[in-house]
Structure 1
Amino acid sequence: MVKETEQQKEQKHLDDVLGLIKTRQGQLDKSINRAQSEAQNLNAHFFDDLKLDYDGYSTSMDTALSIHQQQQMLQERQNAWQHSAKQLSTLKRLEKKPYFARVDFQEKGEDPETIYIGLGSFADKDDHFLIYDWRAPISSIYYDGKLGEVTYNAPDGEQTVNMTKKRQFLIEDGKITNMFDTNESIGDQMLLNVLNEKSSTQMKSIVTTIQREQNKIIRNTSADLLFVQGAAGSGKTSAIMQRVAYLLYRYRGNLTSSDVIMFSPNQLFNDYVKNVLPEMGEQNMVQMTYWQFVSRRVPGMDVETLFEQFEDKKQDSHIANLKDSLTFFNAVTRYANHLEKNGMLFRNIIFKDPKKPFYDKEKIKEIYYSFNENYHLRNRIETTKEALISSLNHRVEPETRKAWVSRTIESLDQEQLNKLYDRPDQEFESSAKEEHFLARKIVINQLKKVARKINQNRFLNIRGQYLAFLRAVPKLIDLSKWNITEDQWHEHVEQVKQSFIDHKIKMSDISPYLYLYDLVTGRRTDYSMRYAFIDEIQDYTPFQLAYLKYNFPRAKFTMLGDLNQAIFTKDESKTLLGQISKLFDPKKTDVVQLTKSYRSTKELTDFTKQILRQGEKIEAFDRQGPKPAFYKRDDKNGEYDALVDILKENDEAKLTTAIITKTLEQAQKVSEELKKRNIKATLVASANQRLVEGTLIMPSYLAKGLEFDAVVAWDVSKDDYHELDETQLLYTITSRAMYKLDLIYKNQLSPLFDNLDKNTYVNK
């Protein structure tokens, strides 16, 4: 008799589990159908069993109780149906790949145990777990430990077990295609299999290959600030998506996806990660870019876009550095506190006559400052509004005697008049009383516009107030410490004023502008948000982060990024962590560094990390591929010929290619040229576009956070990349490639490549 191999034994176990999953699916289908038909039946006969009697108090009480019982029964059926539907969707996910790992362990004094780990939990009819959810406390030992003693956090405290086996599976359509035992957290073989899969337009879940360092990020529940510095391709974004899934599982019942917000670099990225959470059976959290977060609050102004920010060469770097800093944030706070005593600017409230204000700004100012010093900004604004609304009620009667009211009554037709009466057959003692009644109705209707202006704080002059704050900055901040003269500053204030006239506002102004507005109006912050995630942190300013913390005071923050990839904040990103840490309790701040890059082959990682001058330490994962190739050509035509050859080569190898240019204008030119040559490619010109299959062309600032099989870095010549602060931009472009990188240039190569080891690339 032939002895069963280990793989045959495991296949037999897998078949048994799949059989039980299929059986359970059938049972759930039946119970869902039953619950649905019962609910429909209850709905159809809702009133059959009710005696609707409204004669006496007791019988109407019986009626109410009877309705309540029927509603409860309906609710129970609904809950049963939803619970079964949720279980069924978990089983559908498990059906294809029930689990990916097996762990054998023994607790002291207990029998040895074997558990299987998958994307969701599954128990038999006796509640014996056949598959454990990867987020369950015990599953942590698979990710964290080598064989031997391993500790994990259980609900009743820390537990130590002796792990004797760690086995990994590759399962396709119910068949084990490969399995291997390993002593490492995740065996290199498993990682290689997953990493060698082709890229797609959507990010996939990395549950099967979570590394030990990533697991620390995912399961951290103690930090108020978790700061993740990760090299390009180190799996930081993936780990964060799994972290959201873990938190929703860990605090289920108390935390829903609407209590979690994620700020991502652009809309393209949102599209890229949208399937990760649903793959794990969780709903997507609230997701937006910082630009969307601020611009939705100023409908009357155009906020500087990502494109304008990148292409703007006029910005004075010293002034930008000041406005982006925590010093500036604190200056806004101090200025707002000073407004409790004086300096608040108001606007007239106009009603009918623009020349004669209904409420004069000086009168509003008098009301605002009439309250004693115990009234802070929020109380002052609320009490001022109450006083104005109260005064408005007293002004109804005098307004009814104005000429415009009688003119309005005369101009109304019968249908319009009928709408003003309380009821069609309304009687009046005299025509004078009827006219007075109609006059009051008309005035009250018209004065609702004034009430709306009061309630919407339209009597505040916020744009003027922000300019007044900017003019006060030299008294609040020592400008010489920021290498700014007073003349330069005053000239800058005039530029901001002109932008306001043109209904435009820069990114460096929108956060302080809104923060000042929030302080002045006492706008309520969002206490319901429990977790805030910020990706690509290197492109945020300390002011923006302080403003987000102000907006979500109860949220725990997870910030992640690569300080080597700062496109907008450039060298300022180096001091970012120091500035952020001032906003949080140092005892509740955890910093995790991910130095190993999994995205790219060893050849690509060893090449791209040389571009950085003082880059963080980056280790390559041992996955092989071709060396990056430089294509030097004499003119634009030669560059396009080289590009066409590369695209043909990549298509034959079935690689997804992204042509990444420095600017949008270049991307548009490449797109036009490829069209002329009948080469199919999609231009990604804005962050609101969808990612599609096939060759893509995009400007550098839209490539953040994305990855592709092959990247063509377009025109990396000296003319285009010569400034030292473009180093990080070049690093970001080249590190998007997973397997193949080609760099095209004409005439002279960018000096930013001067430090390259000649053995790490080829010339073609």
Structure 2
Amino acid sequence: MNKFEFLQEEQNLELTLDLLSKEILNYIQKRKDVADYILEYRKKFIEEYRDDEDKVMEYFDHERYVKEEMYRTIDRKLAEFTKLKESPYFGKVNFEDDGYAEQIYVGRYGLTPEGSFDAAIVDWRAPVASLFYKGALGETSYKSPDGEVPVDILARRQIMVKKGKLEGFFDSDVDVKDDILQMILSSNAGEKLKDIVMTIQKEQDEIIREERMKVVVVNGVAGSGKTTIALHRVAYLLYNFREQLGDKVLILGPNDIFIDYIGDVLPTLGESNVNQQTFAHFAINEIGLKEPVVDFTAYLEEVLKGNEEVIKEIKYKAGEEFISILDKKCEDLEENYFNFKPVKFFDEEVVGLEEINELFEKHYKYMPLFRRSQKIKRVITSKLKDKRDELVRNLNAEVKDKLASLSEDQLVIEQNNIEFQRRIRIREIVRELMAQKENLEKWIDNESIVDIYKEFTNTNELSYLDLPAILYLMIKLDGKKTKQDIKHIVIDEAQDYSMLQFIVLKELTGCRSYTIVGDANQRLIKVEEEPAMLKLKSLFGGFVKNYALNKSYRSTFQIMEYASKLLDENAIVPFVRKGKYDVEEVEVKDEDDLIDTILETLEEYDDENYDNIAIITKDKEDLKKIAPELKKFTKILAFDREDVIYRGGKVIVPSYYAKGLEFDGVIIVNFDDNTDDLVKYIMATRALHRLKIINFK
């Protein structure tokens, strides 16, 4: 590094840190001023409207809203500036724009001093910051709100700042991030997924900054950064389209362990108000199910055991044929569900069969069947009430005429009796209305869609596989929509989603903006040759943009070379990070030897100072064979259920819970010669630095 340039960078860092300190003090004062203003205004207001309770309540509602909004904005900025004090920026770009020389520093968050229009730090999500992630120097452009802006990149620099101190920098005319990337990938895994703003690659940046109203589908090999790309895309979209998206983003992960694992990424990027859950939780909540549902892991256990009956059921309920069967059921219900009856009031026909048929087949035909029936029920009920009101009016008119025809002497004798008879008749009319409403409900109300589904599929105990189908029937029969407004959906491990799930999400939410990531190689069950996630053009048309990522950044060259051989074709291009160790494969003959070998390997991994180590088995049954014995000799957490919270260290985990996670060192314990290569691929690609396979013979 050039000494003079190093001093220049140190000087700029010092100026930036001073600016940050001033802005932090400025925002602390702002927060105090807001509090003082609110207290002063409150005092005056309450004094003025002391006797008007409604006014005081109204004031406190409004005050709470204003206070929350002001404080939220100020606190977010204070949190960002405090984080920036540690490392204000990580990149610098010099470029020429329309003949003018420009220079920007790129950081995790932006900093524009109050009263200035020049950004001291540009947020990595800002359009101009994309120049840092471009591949090479020279002429290029970036997308601004006003369109493409042509520029000429003159220099690009990666800057390392730790705890407010300049550690060094790299310059490059090709791709500035490789040296830093090697360094970061060689470090140990944290207990959580990391953000990658310092090392986003050109192809990843293109996906992150793709247009909002697109269905972005990423089919990437293990370790290609699919999940981090998806989360950084969410942060990018919220930064640039906060008004439209706000709290309307939904992230769907495969299980609760995975949701917890990715949970810290968005907050480190300044986004905390994002709904993250599994598809099962989402579906159960939307259906309103109270009964227990068999989760998907129970099916995966059976699949890994080779249970052909379960595999057949999964393929059936995830296939195109099942959608046709559901459609056919909806058609049958349309034709045969309601047995129309004329509606009468005291034997007088109020709504005839012909009129009811016309309401169903013409006037409200555009509505889903059960929503239509409820609409027609309201129409008929309204006509019944009209008839009731007519009879009451006629009765009152008759009583009035009768009373008018009586002499004063007759009135004294008859008036109370006539009023008594009038009231009896009104009660009869009201009872008739109630009776006719009950008769109406007998044929126009529908049973629950869950019960309809159970009956026609002959299902007693609902499972994860039934949830998309129930939602599909709710959409088709009742026009169901989500309880919350959703404007962008992220789906992770999307290779395991059926076309029915994609249809349900589209129809329920009306959403047209998606980030869908998965790995076609990691399907434990191949419902069809090509996963549904790669066939979404039939559902979304030209809005779909497909990306394929075949470069893996997670594991060492040796590990990815081993994993690649497990696939039908060598589709993985490993990022060339040569590890210290080759993949090791050993055989053991008895259980004592197996436990000893695992414990010895754990000790070796401890000597390497690995923070996170996983022993991965094919399924829970294999996990239970070794977990109790291992716990006698070492502290280890068993992932034997979905609600386990991972906090780093040593774990023993079945293959399907390990999907999407990563560990410094992995030990695969294989009890079965017939373990599918795909399962081995999933297990092997969890390892960052070291992998050992122990085959129990």
- For normalisation by structure 1, the TM-score amounts to 0.76
Rate the CA distance shift 1:573–1:208 in 2: closer, same or farther, 3 A: farther
- Structure 2 match to 1:146: 136
Rate the CA distance shift 1:214–1:42 in 2: closer, same or farther, 3 A: same
2:328 is equivalent to residue 341 of structure 1: no
- Structure 2 match to 1:541: 498
Please tell me whether the aligned partners of residues 539 and 573 of structure 1 are also in contact (alpha carbons under 8 angstroms).
no
In 2, distance between residues paired with 1:513 and 1:579? 23
In 2, distance between residues paired with 1:529 and 1:582? 22
In the TM superposition, 1:90-129 aligns within 5 A as 90-110=80-100, 112-124=101-113, 125-129=115-119
In 1, distance between residues paired with 2:27 and 2:550? 46
Q: 2:282 is matched with which residue: 263, 271, 293?
A: 293
2:530 is equivalent to residue 574 of structure 1: yes
- Structure 2 match to 1:732: 682
Q: Per-residue displacement from partner, 1:604-644 (whole Å, max 9, x unpaired)? A: 11111111123534333334231111121111221111001
In 2, distance between residues paired with 1:306 and 1:70? 48
Amino acid at match of 2:200: I
2:257 is equivalent to residue 268 of structure 1: yes
Residue identity (%)? 28
> What secondary structure, in the 3-state scheme, does the structure 2 residue paired with 1:554 have?
coil
Q: CA deviation at 1:134?
A: 0.3
Q: CA deviation at 1:225?
A: 1.6
Q: Per-residue displacement from partner, 1:274-322 (whole Å, max 9, x unpaired)? A: 1111111112421111111223325254322122111232536555434
Q: CA deviation at 1:7?
A: 1.4
Rate the CA distance shift 1:267–1:316 in 2: closer, same or farther, 3 A: closer
> What secondary structure, in the 3-state scheme, does the structure 1 residue paired with 2:545 have?
strand
Q: CA deviation at 1:177?
A: 1.3
Amino acid at match of 1:323: K
> What secondary structure, in the 3-state scheme, does the structure 2 residue paired with 1:505 have?
coil
Please tell me whether the aligned partners of residues 329 and 543 of structure 1 are also in contact (alpha carbons under 8 angstroms).
yes
Return 310-319 or 165-174, whichever deviates more: 310-319
In 1, distance between residues paired with 2:65 and 2:502? 44
- Structure 2 match to 1:462: 449
Q: Per-residue displacement from partner, 1:214-264 (whole Å, max 9, x unpaired)? A: 1111011155321101110011110110000000011122221x2111110
In 2, distance between residues paired with 1:138 and 1:742? 45
Q: CA deviation at 1:701?
A: 1.0
Q: 2:590 is matched with which residue: 628, 635, 638?
A: 635
Q: 2:618 is matched with which residue: 651, 662, 673?
A: 662
Q: CA deviation at 1:325?
A: 2.2
Q: CA deviation at 1:192?
A: 1.4
Q: CA deviation at 1:513?
A: 2.7
- Structure 2 match to 1:488: none
Please tell me whether the aligned partners of residues 552 and 572 of structure 2 are also in contact (alpha carbons under 8 angstroms).
no
Q: CA deviation at 1:151?
A: 1.2
- Structure 1 match to 2:12: 13
Rate the CA distance shift 1:463–1:636 in 2: closer, same or farther, 3 A: same
Q: 1:373 is matched with which residue: 336, 353, 361?
A: 361
- Structure 2 match to 1:560: 517
Please tell me whether the aligned partners of residues 495 and 533 of structure 2 are also in contact (alpha carbons under 8 angstroms).
no
> What secondary structure, in the 3-state scheme, does the structure 2 residue paired with 1:32 have?
helix
Q: Per-residue displacement from partner, 1:344-379 (whole Å, max 9, x unpaired)? A: 599xxxxxxxxxxxxxxxx9x999867341233154
Q: CA deviation at 1:570?
A: 2.8
In 1, distance between residues paired with 2:70 and 2:135? 39
In 1, distance between residues paired with 2:491 and 2:150? 34
2:215 is equivalent to residue 216 of structure 1: no
Amino acid at match of 2:463: K
Please tell me whether the aligned partners of residues 156 and 176 of structure 2 are also in contact (alpha carbons under 8 angstroms).
no
- Structure 2 match to 1:155: 145
Amino acid at match of 2:452: Q
Please tell me whether the aligned partners of residues 341 and 369 of structure 1 are also in contact (alpha carbons under 8 angstroms).
no
Please tell me whether the aligned partners of residues 319 and 527 of structure 2 are also in contact (alpha carbons under 8 angstroms).
no
Amino acid at match of 2:665: A
Amino acid at match of 1:277: L
Please tell me whether the aligned partners of residues 217 and 534 of structure 2 are also in contact (alpha carbons under 8 angstroms).
no
Q: Per-residue displacement from partner, 1:640-687 (whole Å, max 9, x unpaired)? A: 1100101111122221211111111221232101123x2110111112
In 1, distance between residues paired with 2:50 and 2:493? 64
Rate the CA distance shift 1:49–1:576 in 2: closer, same or farther, 3 A: closer
> What secondary structure, in the 3-state scheme, does the structure 2 residue paired with 1:253 have?
helix
In the TM superposition, 1:699-714 aligns within 5 A as 699-714=654-669
- Structure 1 match to 2:631: 675
In the TM superposition, 1:270-285 aligns within 5 A as 270-285=259-274
2:608 is equivalent to residue 653 of structure 1: yes
Q: Per-residue displacement from partner, 1:114-155 (whole Å, max 9, x unpaired)? A: 110001111234232110000111101111231111211111
Amino acid at match of 1:104: N
Please tell me whether the aligned partners of residues 595 and 618 of structure 1 are also in contact (alpha carbons under 8 angstroms).
yes
> What secondary structure, in the 3-state scheme, does the structure 2 residue paired with 1:114 have?
strand
Amino acid at match of 2:112: A
Q: 2:234 is matched with which residue: 222, 228, 244?
A: 244
Q: 1:189 is matched with which residue: 159, 175, 179?
A: 179
Amino acid at match of 1:681: I
Rate the CA distance shift 1:249–1:663 in 2: closer, same or farther, 3 A: same
In 2, distance between residues paired with 1:13 and 1:622? 33
Q: 2:639 is matched with which residue: 665, 668, 684?
A: 684
Rate the CA distance shift 1:36–1:577 in 2: closer, same or farther, 3 A: closer
2:9 is equivalent to residue 22 of structure 1: no
2:318 is equivalent to residue 324 of structure 1: yes
Q: In structure 1, list runs of 5 or more residues that go unmatched.
A: 55-62, 347-362, 397-428, 471-495, 748-764
In 2, distance between residues paired with 1:31 and 1:319? 61
Return 232-241 or 6-15, whichever deviates more: 6-15
Return 82-91 or 213-222, whichever deviates more: 82-91
In 1, distance between residues paired with 2:260 and 2:471? 28
Amino acid at match of 2:13: L
Amino acid at match of 1:315: E
In 2, distance between residues paired with 1:260 and 1:185? 33
> What secondary structure, in the 3-state scheme, does the structure 1 residue paired with 2:21 have?
helix
- Structure 2 match to 1:401: none
Rate the CA distance shift 1:117–1:306 in 2: closer, same or farther, 3 A: same
In 1, distance between residues paired with 2:484 and 2:62? 32
- Structure 2 match to 1:584: 540
In 2, distance between residues paired with 1:316 and 1:592? 32
In 2, distance between residues paired with 1:639 and 1:681? 16
Paired residues in the alignment total: 637
Q: 1:604 is matched with which residue: 555, 559, 572?
A: 559
> What secondary structure, in the 3-state scheme, does the structure 2 residue paired with 1:533 have?
strand
In 2, distance between residues paired with 1:128 and 1:699? 52
In 1, distance between residues paired with 2:441 and 2:578? 65
Q: Per-residue displacement from partner, 1:377-413 (whole Å, max 9, x unpaired)? A: 15423225426866998999xxxxxxxxxxxxxxxxx
Rate the CA distance shift 1:597–1:344 in 2: closer, same or farther, 3 A: farther
Q: CA deviation at 1:558?
A: 1.7
Rate the CA distance shift 1:520–1:369 in 2: closer, same or farther, 3 A: farther
In 1, distance between residues paired with 2:519 and 2:193? 19
Amino acid at match of 1:611: L
In the TM superposition, 1:409-424 aligns within 5 A as none
Return 145-154 or 320-329, whichever deviates more: 320-329
Amino acid at match of 1:278: P
- Structure 2 match to 1:531: 488
Rate the CA distance shift 1:278–1:74 in 2: closer, same or farther, 3 A: closer
Amino acid at match of 2:120: L
Q: CA deviation at 1:81?
A: 4.0
- Structure 2 match to 1:509: 466
